[in-house]
Chain A
């Protein structure tokens, strides 16, 4: 079974992101970048399926700038077999990404596509679902458990109020939630081996996809800073303040 895994280059989760002074965008030019944590979970899941003998090949794909090669190589150091970069300097939005993925699915014919449920920069949570709509493949989103048997994949999903398990016919789409697995780290010998794995670069044009953004950012501003609280002397005072000042009870 072939698995296609999508990974995104995003600002590292440790970085405290601030808006640019002119409010045009967030300022991440100089910030450390890393593989999106949910995508890392997607890679890990694919590698585990390969280790179990269920998957035979893992193709990792990223859409973005040339530097996204680094994240593809990270995924290959974790165990993916080969990489595809759809290179563009255009700011990519979920629809453009899912259209590229749709074309790649047509080309590669994977039986499973695993993606993160969202990326920690845009937080859109749309790409997997849009890919489902574009390809007509069934989707299991927010997966916390994935089990493959008899040509079907059972996906346990984290939903409000509990867990739901859906059974999807293959080929299918899975988007990962945080609890699906704990990703491994790249061992040093595997980092070197990843350098020798094939990495193909194509353009959105090659796929016949127009990636220009459809949504325009008007303004970015920091959240209002929280004001210092006050200490109340007694429960009575607290109730009084909640009633008359905060007017919440």
Chain B
């Protein structure tokens, strides 16, 4: 039997039992839907994933795109797969019916994409970036811009990118130098170099719409002087037909550790007389618009981390059931048949750790997806605001935790397969390489940790921070009512208390020492907060599983719910105690690494 891409039962649990996706059909936007339409969309995604993505996954990895100085070349199967995603409607499944979308709720759409992501995250990259780009222009562009750029992106004729990073400005976007000068026609002319632009050039679509961050001549320094422009590869005439090529050139392709199907480009804007760009919104507000896309992209990055972990877990689980090797310690008879490796205690540890990381991470991402929907479609203004506050707070954790722990899960998947995991006859080493990008792009883990500690925690008088703590307290109160869960609820309570004192200590430290010294353990703080949040997510899953078990479910469901409770217990026993270690380092205001002088290295 081939390993499933994802556990269908788990997706069903997450969507319908944990997040109650069916309740979304009460909202006007989703009133045509029901569980059947959701499942039908999931089924189509699975079919497209198995038919178009899975068979080419290894080839996409081993035959990277090339650039001959004129155009990008890639294996034709990528275009077939991308076209299938577009033609099936999966590429813009959340978009309005009028634009060819299916108006799926975010939480369902996330699970729909998960199948494609599990079968080929890098091939999916083209359409998911396009979708995020179109969402941004829909939110901040003019009606004319929407008509000209969003419509063709929704129907798959155009692709989209986000072009922020420059050779000298990665994490520090404040220092970007790409410039924009207004010409006599009122257009802006863009010049500068961008690097690492995913999908920055290819022949998969008729046109590519770059969203470029640049500085208008004379704009203030720093992030307050950054504007956002639509810069197409080909200009578009008023009747929608393609015009001449814009002054955007592909300078070269990067060759990557993983994610190899998705072109990573160096783009050169304005080698001749400046690329024509169209301002989005107002000048100098570009970064705030880009954050619209980045918040969404950050949930997507977390999701990719989590889903790659889920599929690696399924693969190694299947392998562990089939692979006979060695005997249990208690078995002294050498003529007895070897056991499947899943019988060995250490292999079970590696499998259960993967389950705890991957399913915890993915449930967290789905919470993010649900909140991003609530932010827009919840019944009342107060609910929408509350969702926004919580999501804004959680975003650095939703981005980072799955990105950090997803690759750790894949690392364990490799280990479960032993030597067979290290070679390319099995996909787990590729999962690891693909997943290793996630702690880097869309803001590195270091940057996310500073965003959390320096911005998100104190923001608006700790509103997001408090909202997060209250949400966790709510679950604790429910869990305490169950005999089976009360102990776990207490453990989480204790960790939250530790988190609170740690937060007070580290924020107060900025009074007594430099902020750089006080925040030098920001990643430990992100780890601490992340582990508390994921323990909470596991407790939420535990509450559902525990309740379901009490109504004598079918044997296969009973096994499923027991597995959930066991993974929860594992996270609480093996992972949550690490928070005390991180809390100690932070609260002691330990600066051992910060004090290390450059010359001492």
List residues of chain B with CB within 8 A of the CB of A77: 40
Q: Which of A1-51 contact B (CB under 8 A)?
A: 14, 16, 29-30, 32, 34
A73 within 8 A of B: yes
Which of A32, A185, A191, A228 meets B102, CB within 8 Å?
A: A191
B322 within 8 A of A: no
Scoring B residues 378 to 393 as 1 if CB is less than 8 Å from chain A, else 0, what string do you get?
A: 0000000000000000
Bound Cα distance from A21 to B100, whole angstroms: 49
Expressed in whole angstroms, the minimum distance between the Cβ of A68 and any Cβ of chain B is 12
List residues of chain A with CB within 8 A of the CB of B37: 191-192, 195
A70 and B36: CB pair below 8 A? yes
- CB closest chain-B residue, reference A185: B47
A162 within 8 A of B: no
Expressed in whole angstroms, the minimum distance between the Cβ of B81 and any Cβ of chain A is 13
In this complex, the member of A192, A195, A228 whose beta carbon has the largest number of chain B beta carbons within 10 angstroms is A192
Expressed in whole angstroms, the minimum distance between the Cβ of A18 and any Cβ of chain B is 9
Stretch at the interface among B86-94, B470-478, B486-494, B523-531: B86-94
Expressed in whole angstroms, the minimum distance between the Cβ of B284 and any Cβ of chain A is 39
B90 and A188: CB pair below 8 A? yes
Expressed in whole angstroms, the minimum distance between the Cβ of A87 and any Cβ of chain B is 17
A122 within 8 A of B: no
B137 within 8 A of A: no
List residues of chain B with CB within 8 A of the CB of A188: 41, 44, 88-90, 93, 101-102, 104
B89 and A195: CB pair below 8 A? no
Scoring A residues 161 to 189 as 1 if CB is less than 8 Å from chain B, else 0, what string do you get?
A: 00000000000000000000000011111
List residues of chain A with CB within 8 A of the CB of B90: 188
Asked whether A186 and B100 contact (CB < 8 A) given A29-B554, A32-B8, the answer is no
Bound Cα distance from A101 to B409, whole angstroms: 53
B557 and A30: CB pair below 8 A? yes
Bound Cα distance from A74 to B41, whole angstroms: 11
Bound Cα distance from A32 to B40, whole angstroms: 13
Bound Cα distance from A30 to B553, whole angstroms: 10
In this complex, the member of A34, A77, A190, A191 whose beta carbon has the largest number of chain B beta carbons within 10 angstroms is A191
Expressed in whole angstroms, the minimum distance between the Cβ of B335 and any Cβ of chain A is 12
Expressed in whole angstroms, the minimum distance between the Cβ of B131 and any Cβ of chain A is 13
Expressed in whole angstroms, the minimum distance between the Cβ of B49 and any Cβ of chain A is 10
List residues of chain B with CB within 8 A of the CB of A74: 40
Which of A14, A30, A191, A228 meets B40, CB within 8 Å?
A: A191
Expressed in whole angstroms, the minimum distance between the Cβ of B418 and any Cβ of chain A is 22
B337 and A228: CB pair below 8 A? yes
List residues of chain A with CB within 8 A of the CB of B89: 187-190
Bound Cα distance from A187 to B36, whole angstroms: 14
Bound Cα distance from A195 to B97, whole angstroms: 14
Expressed in whole angstroms, the minimum distance between the Cβ of A151 and any Cβ of chain B is 35
- CB closest chain-A residue, reference B112: A188
B32 and A187: CB pair below 8 A? no
In this complex, the member of B1, B4, B40, B100 whose beta carbon has the largest number of chain A beta carbons within 10 angstroms is B40
List residues of chain B with CB within 8 A of the CB of A192: 32, 37, 97, 102
Bound Cα distance from A73 to B38, whole angstroms: 13
A187 and B554: CB pair below 8 A? no
List residues of chain B with CB within 8 A of the CB of A228: 337
Expressed in whole angstroms, the minimum distance between the Cβ of B267 and any Cβ of chain A is 32
Expressed in whole angstroms, the minimum distance between the Cβ of B411 and any Cβ of chain A is 29
List residues of chain B with CB within 8 A of the CB of A32: 8
Bound Cα distance from A167 to B104, whole angstroms: 47
B537 within 8 A of A: no
Expressed in whole angstroms, the minimum distance between the Cβ of B48 and any Cβ of chain A is 6
Which of B4, B43, B47, B556 meets A30, CB within 8 Å?
A: B556
List residues of chain A with CB within 8 A of the CB of B87: 187
In this complex, the member of B37, B47, B87, B104 whose beta carbon has the largest number of chain A beta carbons within 10 angstroms is B37
B44 and A73: CB pair below 8 A? no
Bound Cα distance from A34 to B36, whole angstroms: 12
Q: Which of A204-245 contact B (CB under 8 A)?
A: 228
Bound Cα distance from A74 to B102, whole angstroms: 16
Bound Cα distance from A22 to B341, whole angstroms: 32
B554 and A185: CB pair below 8 A? no
In this complex, the member of A74, A77, A185, A187 whose beta carbon has the largest number of chain B beta carbons within 10 angstroms is A185
List residues of chain A with CB within 8 A of the CB of B88: 185, 187-188
Expressed in whole angstroms, the minimum distance between the Cβ of B137 and any Cβ of chain A is 22
Expressed in whole angstroms, the minimum distance between the Cβ of A22 and any Cβ of chain B is 13
Bound Cα distance from A70 to B42, whole angstroms: 14
Bound Cα distance from A186 to B36, whole angstroms: 13
A30 and B97: CB pair below 8 A? no
Expressed in whole angstroms, the minimum distance between the Cβ of A56 and any Cβ of chain B is 25
Scoring B residues 7 to 49 as 1 if CB is less than 8 Å from chain A, else 0, what string do you get?
A: 0100000000000000000000000100011001101100110
List residues of chain B with CB within 8 A of the CB of A73: 36, 40
Asked whether A185 and B557 contact (CB < 8 A) given A32-B8, A191-B37, A192-B97, the answer is no
Bound Cα distance from A30 to B47, whole angstroms: 22
List residues of chain A with CB within 8 A of the CB of B51: 185
Expressed in whole angstroms, the minimum distance between the Cβ of B560 and any Cβ of chain A is 10
Bound Cα distance from A110 to B101, whole angstroms: 35
Which of A16, A185, A189, A190 meets B48, CB within 8 Å?
A: A185
In this complex, the member of B51, B100, B102 whose beta carbon has the largest number of chain A beta carbons within 10 angstroms is B102
Q: Which A residues fall within an 8 A CB radius of B? A: 14, 16, 29-30, 32, 34, 70, 73-74, 77, 185-192, 195, 228
Q: List 27 A-B contacts (CB under 8 A).
A: A14-B4, A29-B554, A30-B556, A30-B557, A34-B43, A70-B36, A74-B40, A185-B43, A185-B51, A185-B88, A186-B40, A186-B44, A187-B89, A188-B44, A188-B89, A188-B90, A188-B93, A188-B101, A188-B102, A189-B89, A189-B100, A189-B102, A190-B89, A191-B44, A191-B102, A192-B97, A228-B337
Not counting A188-B90, A192-B37, A192-B97, a sample of 13 additional A-B residue pairs whose C-beta atoms are within 8 angstroms of each other reads A29-B554, A30-B556, A34-B43, A74-B40, A185-B44, A185-B47, A188-B41, A188-B102, A189-B102, A191-B37, A192-B32, A195-B32, A195-B37
